[in-house]
Amino acid sequence: MQLETVINKTLRYLNNRLDALSMNVTSGGVDSMENYKYIIGQINAYEATKQEISNLLEDKEQKNETERSEEWKNNNADNELVGVKKSENKSEKKEEPKLPKPTGWRC
């Protein structure tokens, strides 16, 4: 079984269970304070589990993204654009910001 399939099924189960527990609490299906605290604890645990899975997937995506961009940079570092000529003169003129000329008047 693929890892993505397991993750998707786990997330689906967590979402369904969270919906059922939330519905139970909001519809008045709780008969004691102990039961209420138990259900709220389950909800918190499922939410934390979902968040952790999300964080792990995000880290994996960022790692894959970084690896792909570094690989692309390494493969395309020396490639030239097709049909574009490189300029021989690489000296660039830096333009200084133009300021208004002083008038000699002081406030």
Domain boundaries, the chain: 3-76
44-93, pLDDT tens digit by residue?
Answer: 999 999 999 999 888 777 777 777 777 767 666 555 555 555 555 555 56
d(CA 45, CA 39): 10
Query: Tokens 């689906």 map to which residue?
Result: 12
The pLDDT score that the predictor gives to residue 21 is 95
- Terminal alpha carbon distance of the chain: 80
